[in-house]
Chain A
Amino acid sequence: MEIKREDIIHLAGLSNISLEEGEIEGLTKDLQSIIRYISQLDELNTDDVEPTYQVFEMENVWREDEVLPQDASREELLALTKEEKDNQIKVPKVL
């Protein structure tokens, strides 16, 4: 699989990251080498292997449907944001 410049621009768009022109080439190479490294796994025959979704033998870990008091307050949440208004988080206009 070959990583192209357009792939990096597309991925940056999905993640809402803006890249400097100079960064694109470096990232293309980095991602290409990561994929090459991971692709070594393709050599293995996994036809009869069940997919692994998790490495612990756990299942059905549920909790009761009971409201518990929360450790963090709204003020603490809003303190983490850049800007707030009317107890809400203010962000640039999105549509």
Chain B
Amino acid sequence: MKYIPTIGIECHVQLSTKTKLFSEVDNDARGKEPNSCVSPVDYALPGMLPRLNGEAIKFAVRAGRAMNCEINRSSRFDRKHYFYPDSPKGYQITQFYHPIIGAGYVLLPSGTQIRIEHAHLEGDAGKLTHFDSYSLVDLNRVDTPLIEIVSQPDIHSAKDAHDYCKELWRLMRYAGVTYGDLYNGNMRFDVNVSLAPEGSEKLGTRAEVKNLNSFRSVERAVEYEIKRQTKILEAGEKVVQETRGWSDATGETTGQRSKEEAKDYRYMPEPDIPPINLSAEFIEEQLKDFPLMPADYREKFGEIIAGDTLEVLLDYPELMQKLDEVKNVKLMSNLFASVLLAEEKSAEYLNDLPSAEDLNTLAEMNAAKELSSTATKEVFLRLFDPQMKGRGARNIAKELGLIQENDLGALEAIVDAVLAKPETAKAQDDFRNGEEKVIGFLVGQVMKESKGKANPSAVQQILREKLTK
């Protein structure tokens, strides 16, 4: 029997606000000492009250727009109770009943549409490090703002699961709501996988693989689960509904605790945070400079840039924005892809891209054949060089002696000078008498006179015009 996998994904995105969701504490704990970015609000000393970060609301509006989601005019927070050392409060403040982001969809590069069920704001938990006989708790991450994005079970392959997670990563970075640093756990994925016989209308029992932090591990974990569950079903046994952990090292998932049911969390309205009621004007204000999204770029540049190249470039929102500003998208996309991304230093280069003006000048010089394609690449790279970039494309090309002489006036003067020389008189007569190949000799003389900087095809054209007059 053939089994069809059905996959739904929950994705947690850490927002890059300056402060935490409910306290005025530094939200960027990267490289900081354990328990140094913590306030008594985060660990819930008696009498402490959460104070909602307005920026997180604005970020949520932008994140929702990136996923074509309805922004709910009215939303509120709830307490989700559980007992675990990563949360001294004994509960997580989340949005269970009325999330800020409603239904929407994400388009994968393949064109497949994955529906978003909803997305909500919540505070993160602390970080636990496990040792042989004890665990250590660092509360720096407590109440870092998260958006949890819940997809519909619209995914049916490991590849689509990978592509969906990657597209979310792109969307959240394009919307400017996260650093998107996967290595530091800025995005984490929980993947629900179930199998049902082909043609069946009922979904199978699902297993949830928690806490995946790379697209590759999402893909591998789904592949593993499909194999594991197929084996169980083919043996006539039943898949157990449970939470499973993934190991990158072994490439396997293993069963963890049995999942708590929703009612075990004893959800209740968070009494300390009044509801959020957004006006149409407020939402509009947050979206007024909303940038193009990957799907917009695919539509806009799909016929100019080759598909594979475009997908590589789409990982870099700043770069795409720059491409949107320049005139010659085809040339620039090729330069970015073949010259810049091939360089080892691309990541640091990308932080400080050349101005559109410089790139346009470069494209113009290339189009006017002032720069050969090799010279164009050379100047392009120099535009990223901190020592040179301020000087402008034209000056850099000049300093490096890369400009081909195309100035028709200047070229004509050189051609005239060469034609005035007695030693070229015979060649001129021969050409006029139909001896085509002496043109090569004359071009050579002009190139010599220009010290190699003339554009040979332009020279030939001028010579032909003058000799056939």
Q: How far is the CB of A74 from chain B (nearest CB, A)?
A: 5
Question: For residue A85, which residues in chain B have a CB less than 8 angstroms away from its CB?
Answer: 134, 136
Question: For residue A92, which residues in chain B have a CB less than 8 angstroms away from its CB?
Answer: 134-135
- Closest-by-CB residue of B relative to A92 is B134
Return the contact of A58 from the options B24, B84, B256, B274 (Cβ within 8 A): B274
Q: Are B76 and A53 in contact (CB under 8 A)?
A: yes
Complex Cα distance, B85 from A16, in Å, reads 11
Complex Cα distance, B16 from A65, in Å, reads 11
Question: For residue A95, which residues in chain B have a CB less than 8 angstroms away from its CB?
Answer: 130, 256
Complex Cα distance, B24 from A68, in Å, reads 5
Q: How far is the CB of B325 from chain A (nearest CB, A)?
A: 29
Contact A88/B136 with A54-B275, A60-B274 known, Cβ cut-off 8 Å: yes
B168 is an interface residue with CB less than 8 A from chain A = no
Complex Cα distance, B292 from A78, in Å, reads 47
Complex Cα distance, B59 from A65, in Å, reads 12
Contact A77/B274 with A15-B83, A88-B138 known, Cβ cut-off 8 Å: no
Q: Are B34 and A88 in contact (CB under 8 A)?
A: yes
Q: Are B269 and A53 in contact (CB under 8 A)?
A: yes
Return the contact of B18 from the options A58, A61, A65, A70 (Cβ within 8 A): A65
Q: Are A14 and B275 in contact (CB under 8 A)?
A: no
Complex Cα distance, B55 from A53, in Å, reads 23
Return the contact of A93 from the options B34, B45, B134 (Cβ within 8 A): B134
A18 is an interface residue with CB less than 8 A from chain B = no
Return the contact of A62 from the options B52, B76, B81, B130 (Cβ within 8 A): B52
Complex Cα distance, B141 from A88, in Å, reads 13
Q: Are A91 and B53 in contact (CB under 8 A)?
A: no
Question: For residue B36, which residues in chain A have a CB less than 8 angstroms away from its CB?
Answer: 74, 87
A23 is an interface residue with CB less than 8 A from chain B = no
Complex Cα distance, B241 from A3, in Å, reads 27
- Closest-by-CB residue of A relative to B271 is A54
Complex Cα distance, B78 from A53, in Å, reads 10
Return the contact of B273 from the options A15, A61, A93 (Cβ within 8 A): A61
Q: How far is the CB of A77 from chain B (nearest CB, A)?
A: 6
B251 is an interface residue with CB less than 8 A from chain A = no
B51 is an interface residue with CB less than 8 A from chain A = yes
Complex Cα distance, B76 from A90, in Å, reads 34
Contact A67/B38 with A59-B277, A90-B134 known, Cβ cut-off 8 Å: no
List residues 1-55 of chain A with CB under 8 A from any CB of chain B.
14-16, 53-54
Digitize A73-95: 1 where CB-to-B-CB distance is under 8 Å, 0 elsewhere: 01001100000011111111111
Complex Cα distance, B264 from A90, in Å, reads 27
Complex Cα distance, B81 from A92, in Å, reads 21
B25 is an interface residue with CB less than 8 A from chain A = yes
Q: Are B53 and A65 in contact (CB under 8 A)?
A: yes
B376 is an interface residue with CB less than 8 A from chain A = no
Contact A65/B128 with A16-B83, A54-B274, A59-B275 known, Cβ cut-off 8 Å: no
Q: How far is the CB of A90 from chain B (nearest CB, A)?
A: 5
Question: For residue A16, which residues in chain B have a CB less than 8 angstroms away from its CB?
Answer: 83
Question: For residue A74, which residues in chain B have a CB less than 8 angstroms away from its CB?
Answer: 33, 35-36, 38
Complex Cα distance, B25 from A68, in Å, reads 6
Q: Are B277 and A60 in contact (CB under 8 A)?
A: yes
Contact A63/B136 with A53-B269, A72-B39, A94-B85 known, Cβ cut-off 8 Å: no
Return the contact of A94 from the options B84, B269, B271, B273 (Cβ within 8 A): B84
List residues 244-277 of chain B with CB under 8 A from any CB of chain A.
256, 260, 264, 266, 269, 271, 273-277
Q: Are B19 and A67 in contact (CB under 8 A)?
A: yes
Question: For residue B85, which residues in chain A have a CB less than 8 angstroms away from its CB?
Answer: 89, 91, 94
Question: For residue A67, which residues in chain B have a CB less than 8 angstroms away from its CB?
Answer: 18-19, 24-26
Return the contact of A89 from the options B18, B24, B57, B137 (Cβ within 8 A): B137
Q: How far is the CB of B391 from chain A (nearest CB, A)?
A: 39
B307 is an interface residue with CB less than 8 A from chain A = no
B82 is an interface residue with CB less than 8 A from chain A = yes
Contact A77/B276 with A64-B54, A87-B33, A88-B136 known, Cβ cut-off 8 Å: no
Complex Cα distance, B411 from A95, in Å, reads 79
Q: Are B135 and A54 in contact (CB under 8 A)?
A: no
Complex Cα distance, B267 from A53, in Å, reads 13
- Closest-by-CB residue of A relative to B257 is A95
Q: How far is the CB of A37 from chain B (nearest CB, A)?
A: 18
Question: For residue A86, which residues in chain B have a CB less than 8 angstroms away from its CB?
Answer: 34, 136
Could you list 23 examples of A-B contacts with CB < 8 Å?
A15-B83, A60-B275, A61-B274, A62-B52, A64-B54, A64-B55, A65-B53, A65-B55, A66-B18, A67-B19, A70-B24, A77-B40, A87-B33, A88-B136, A90-B137, A91-B85, A92-B134, A92-B135, A93-B131, A93-B133, A94-B84, A94-B85, A95-B256
Residues of B bordering A, CB below 8 Å = 17-19, 24-26, 33-36, 38-40, 43, 45, 51-57, 76, 81-85, 128-139, 256, 260, 264, 266, 269, 271, 273-278
The 4 closest A-B pairs by CB, nearest first: A62-B54, A65-B55, A88-B136, A68-B24
